[in-house]
Chain A
Amino acid sequence: MSTKEWPLWEVFIRSKQGLSHKHVGSLRAPDAEMAISNARDVYTRRSEGVSIWVVESKLVSASDPKEANEFFEPSDTKIYRHPTFYDVPDGISHM
């Protein structure tokens, strides 16, 4: 069919207050308002959300999986960023 398709939108839902929005999937919509309405109908049929974000899929920039090694490996070796790297004498609590 020759007509222009509605653009694709990525949908993010906050499941309850205090949690981050989480990616749940995508849908088609002609504009942002309709994308939000559609997201409400498609992705919160069982009260899964209290807040919705939508963003046009083409606007999302992503890291390149081919570069995943050089991208993420360096932080794998920086274990001093994690609290378990440090020794704390026995008997110390609340740390």
Chain B
Amino acid sequence: MEINKQDALFEFVLRIADDSLILGHRISEWCGHGPILEEDIALTNIALDFVGQATNFYDYAAKVEGKCRTADDLAFLRFEREYKNVLLVEQPNGHFGDTIARQFFFDVFRKLFFEELAKSTDEELAGIAEKSLLETKYHLRHSSEWMIRLGDGTEESHAKIQESVDTLWRYTGELFFSNEVDALLLNEKIGVDIAALKRPWEKQVREILGEATIEIPAHAWQQAGGRTGVHSEHLGYLLTELQYMQRAYPGMEW
């Protein structure tokens, strides 16, 4: 498949933005329902960071595309198959342990990813990555602290977080998905060698899980599809909520 640089860059940025938007949406569902007040505030901070990142990356994607679409058009007015986020981020919140495990797997990836993207020759992209990296480091601190406390806490919390890890492990492989889009941009020194992030990701995950006394699941089967727009059934409902206002009142300013 032939792909030009502009299309590749658009697709690449969209993936980052969609990951942020969808995960931000999921975390924002906790708002008002956190396990303790302090944690409610912490989760909302993280959700806010993701909404901010999504906005920055969509703004840039819209600019790259050059078709007069806005960040909001990209966020709210595409169809399900056009969203390119990984399956991991659209998984439901479940209990607090499910949310934390999902977050932890993603944060480790995101930190490695932004560290590389901050070196991109595309200065605008590098700039957004750098700002996002600071936020991500804090997110990772937060999710790691909780992984350790839940894993090495009570018997109940240990069993719960182990189950979360077992369930979500199958969605972690897709984090390292890459295709001709990534190859082209890597060649241009714009993109990131995503496959190369897998080893450091595993190392860091193992370290924290070790401290948390959580075992890495034995099963190796990995689900994928999000990056090519083939999602789980969960995404449709999420988008129904997300897009409600834009669909119910087309073309209005709010």
- Which residues of A come within 8 Å of B, CB atoms? 6, 27-30, 33-34, 37-38, 41-42, 45
Contacts and interface: CB of A to CB of B under 8 A. Distances in A.
B119 interface: no
B145 A42 contact: no
Contacts, number: 26
10 contacts: A6-B36, A28-B36, A28-B38, A34-B38, A34-B145, A37-B42, A38-B41, A38-B42, A41-B42, A45-B45
B145 A27 contact: no
Chain B, interface size category, equals 10 to 19
Contacts of A29: 38
Contact of B38 (A33, A41, A45): A41
Q: Closest 5 CB pairs between A and B?
A: A38-B38, A41-B42, A41-B41, A41-B45, A42-B41
B26 interface: no
Contacts of A28: 36-38
Interface string B133-149: 00000000110010001
Given A34-B38, A41-B45, 15 more contacts: A28-B38, A29-B38, A30-B149, A34-B145, A34-B149, A37-B141, A37-B142, A37-B145, A38-B38, A38-B39, A38-B41, A41-B38, A41-B42, A42-B41, A45-B45
Contacts of B45: 41, 45
A29 B39 CA distance: 10
Contacts of A6: 36
Contacts of B39: 38
Nearest to B148: A33
Given A6-B36, A28-B36, A33 B42 contact: no
Contacts of B38: 27-29, 34, 38, 41-42
A77 to B, nearest CB: 46
Contacts of A27: 38
B153 to A, nearest CB: 9
Interface string B31-43: 0000011110110
A37 B141 CA distance: 9
Nearest to A29: B38
Contacts of A41: 38, 41-42, 45
Contacts of B36: 6, 28
A9 to B, nearest CB: 10
Nearest to A45: B45
Nearest to B42: A41
A33 B145 contact: yes
A57 B193 CA distance: 49
B161 to A, nearest CB: 16
Nearest to B142: A37
Contacts of A37: 42, 141-142, 145
A69 B36 CA distance: 41
Nearest to A27: B38
A3 to B, nearest CB: 11
A37 B46 CA distance: 12
Nearest to A42: B41
Name the residue in B36, B38, B41, B45 with the highest tally of chain A Cβ atoms < 10 Å from its Cβ.
Answer: B38
